[in-house]
Structure 1
Amino acid sequence: MQSLIGTGVALVTPFKEDFSIDTEALKRIVNFSVDGGVEYLVILGTTAENATLTSDEKELVIQTIIEANNGRLPLVLGVGGNNTMKVAEELKTRDMSPFVAILSVSPYYNKPTQEGIYQHFKVIAEASPVPVIVYNVPGRTSSNMLPKTVLRLANDFKNIVAIKEAAGDIVQAMQLLKDKPKDFHVISGDDMTALATVLAGGSGVISVIAQGFPKEFSEMIRLGLNRKVDEAFKSQYLLSDCIDMIFEQGNPAGIKQVFQALGLADNTVRLPLVSVDEDLQNRINVFVSKIDK
């Protein structure tokens, strides 16, 4: 799975002011990310607001991105949920040929035990016709997929090939890196600690901010992978203020304000999310104007 090395972007779903999907803006964002040098695209992750999309809208997003990408970069599809059998059924019935892997989040809301998490992903691994990236994001799921559980899955199922680790805990990431199977990828799911994870041995990142600053962020990750530490941290510190800003009032409200500042898309989000306030809009706009020069 060399296609998972480097920077993947968790694409947003841009909306018009009437809250309908803006497919033209989505095409612009795909092209901006591809032209900026990222290595792969992730469709229908949390950043896509997929919890607010209908089934038809999800299909529209998928097809729009496939067509806009036009085979240029590998595609990863978000297929997850807290109803294990529903996820398995989708994997068995959907045409997965356009995708190199799926990204599947640890079950949220139900708050399963570690054994429950293991059994959930066991079913998904057995159902999936493509490799699986498991996704640990305790801030959203209310349960932390512990390294012991991740390593058990990695060793038991050959098609579980990676984890997107978004606990924001570099010590936990290092434990995974120390004990993982040789070909298993530890991918950062946290923009601020992505470089540190890469320097510790990680394979890269699935990023939010990289779709707004694809050139700068993807180059930072490549510098980290090539052990050019000083140059990599120069890029980290260039972007660190904006990384904080885009998550300050929730994701994807922050990154959508970056797109508005860039003229790529409107900053509209669907309830229960709301757009960032005027103060944060102004701060993001000022940052973008400096980087964009």
Structure 2
Amino acid sequence: MTLRTRLLIVAACALVLGLAATLFTLRAGSSAANAGRGEQFTLGTPGRIVFRDMRMGPGKDHLASVAAADPGGPRTVSGLVCARFHAASGTGLCLRDVPGLAPGYDAVVVDARLRPQRHVKGTGVPSRTRVSPSGRMAAWTVFVSGDNYGGMNFSTRTSILDTRTGHLIPSLESFTVYKDGTRYQAADTNFWGVTFKDDTHFYATLATHGKTYLIAGDTTRREVTTLHANVECPSLSPDGTAIVYKKRVRDASTGRPWHLYRLDLATQRETPLAESRNVDDQALWIDATHVAYSLPGDYGSDLWTVPADGTGAPRKLLQAALNAVF
């Protein structure tokens, strides 16, 4: 084969590869544009699950919807991108990352058609979101320093917003704390993982001096009271009688410190759930008897479900998904 023939072959191959790359770029751009516009769906539609889509591609991190009866079926992908999401009664809270020299976020309140209604911007890394059952109150937690709950070397800020009036409580650290019946003050208090009982009352986690506590809070009185030790990321049952939460059962150095538990609020009785793996998530009640939570998966996160009374066994609910709303 002559040198000229070799050069012609190389040039032809380069031309083919260039055309293929151009075609791929055009198709990817078209797909990204379609994902950016998104399809339309409505929050609270019966029989649908809304979640953050974790699949690789132009729709990654977009809110999506799928039939609850067929979780593995076709997904409707919206144009709204969220790092964390929750919704109730037609009101959604989308916590988005904001690029910059310092980590920032944008807490976006959306209506049932995912149209933005209010924005609150701040500094921090998105962590948890919750909306009250009526849809009026929205809470979120961000990491101010650190980026996980494994140890205690981090700082969080938890805010609560009245989505109707726009009144903002910038940080629960402004609330009066009552611990073991006595007013408590410490420089190291951290709050995270709000779960609402109603538009005034909520539960959350308080951390101080290396320990965590379940707290009951009141936004009108601007105070919180400790109820139970070793509780993180509580989730209140639909009837308001129980909390499912992650309990620290091992040292953080093991890489798997938590186990899901149920706490009966009337008796303070704890029951371990039948999920033996480490769950670093704020579980969500699907109905009166089951909770959903995320575990690491091939695409970053999968959603699993388990009975909330300690019986049964875990079951994968949705692959490549996070922050589901039922």
Question: Does the TM-score normalized on the shorter chain lie above 0.5?
Answer: no
TM-score by length of 1: 0.34
Higher alpha-carbon Rg: 2
Q: Say which structure is richer in strand.
A: 2
Larger relative contact order (CA 8 Å, sep ≥ 6): 1
Between Structure 1 and Structure 2, which shows a larger proportion of helix residues? Answer: 1
TM-score (norm 2): 0.31
